[in-house]
Amino acid sequence: MNHLIPIIIVSLIICLTACGPAPETFLDNPVIAHRGAWKTEGLPQNSIASLQRAIDIGCAGSEFDVWMTSDGVLVLNHDADYEGLVLETATFEEVSQLRLSNGERLPTAEEYIRKGMTQNRTKLIFEVKPSKISTGRGVELAEKSVDIVKSMGAEKWVDYITFDHDIGLRIIALDPDANVAYLNGDKSPQELKEAGYFGLDYNIRVMKENPNWFEEARELGLNINVWTVNNREDMEWLLDQNVDYITTDEPELLFEMLND
């Protein structure tokens, strides 16, 4: 058996050489592009183009907002309506007629995730929007969201965020290994930890009102993300607090500060 060891080692070296460099891994920086990196280039928010821009400039994550049409298709948009069409009460056929400013249609969650899966540097920060129709419909959206991610094998690309506590709890129940963060700002770090959340993702106003939550969250092992932070002073303050992530409409400014 021992005489086989040199052969095995040589074979491994040959394989590693032939296969080339190790694949890219997800980036380790605090920059989360809010609705994609759209502002500098004048791209539509929540578009495939803004996702590609976030990837190109090296953001650790690209956040996107998801609603469910009346016939159960998951589509991207920040607001509940687009050009007056209410997404939750419209059919996907109706939504598919809409166009963003660059000619794209509103992407489906599946299309956006598929694009994100062509690389493994920038994670996809999947915001499950609370339903304006009913709590039950919001939970259904959570279930469909997890189903899509699992069916695509996209678990390692996707982290979830939501303002709705019931939605967050449903995602955690469906996928206990998923990273799920809460957005609303009305739960203490201890409450989030007990509920099974991966982290808090709070507005900067909330964190300024509760500065003790930085240390409390760290002691509990919770991830800390803060939104939506667009000026240098607030970015500097948060970097001094050693937050994990900063969600911003100005990712290029944050990179400039990190590189100073």
pLDDT digits (tens, 9 = 90+) for 102-159: 999 999 999 999 999 999 999 999 999 999 999 999 999 999 999 999 999 999 999 9
CA distances to 62, 97, 104, 248, 251 from 40, in Å: 15, 27, 18, 12, 9
Q: Is residue 117 part of a domain?
A: yes
- CA gap 63, 125 in Å, rounded: 4
Q: Which two tokens stand for residue 2?
A: 């021992």
- Summarize pLDDT for 152-191 with one digit per residue, the tens: 999 999 999 999 999 999 999 999 999 999 999 999 999 9
- CA gap 139, 81 in Å, rounded: 20
Q: Which two tokens stand for residue 74?
A: 């998951």
Q: Is residue 5 part of a domain?
A: no
**For position 40, what pLDDT does the model report?**
97
Q: Is residue 11 part of a domain?
A: no
**Per-residue confidence at 5, pLDDT binned at 50, 70, 90?**
very low
Identity at 207, one-letter amino acid code: M
* DSSP structure class, residue 4: G
Q: Is residue 15 part of a domain?
A: no
For residue 120, give its domain range. 26-259
For the chain, percent helix, then strand, then coil, each to nearest 5?
40, 20, 40
Q: Is residue 14 part of a domain?
A: no
Q: Is residue 7 part of a domain?
A: no
- CA gap 138, 127 in Å, rounded: 12
For residues 74 and 145, is the Cβ–Cβ distance under 8 A? yes
For residues 176 and 150, is the Cβ–Cβ distance under 8 A? no
**Which one is predicted more confidently, 24 or 69?**
69
**For position 24, what pLDDT does the model report?**
67
Overall domain count for the chain: 1
Beta strands at 31-33 and 158-162: parallel, antiparallel or unpaired:
unpaired
Q: Is residue 213 part of a domain?
A: yes
**Per-residue confidence at 96, pLDDT binned at 50, 70, 90?**
very high
- Does pLDDT of 2 surpass 70? no
Question: Which CATH number is 92's domain given?
Answer: 3.20.20.190
Q: Is residue 4 part of a domain?
A: no
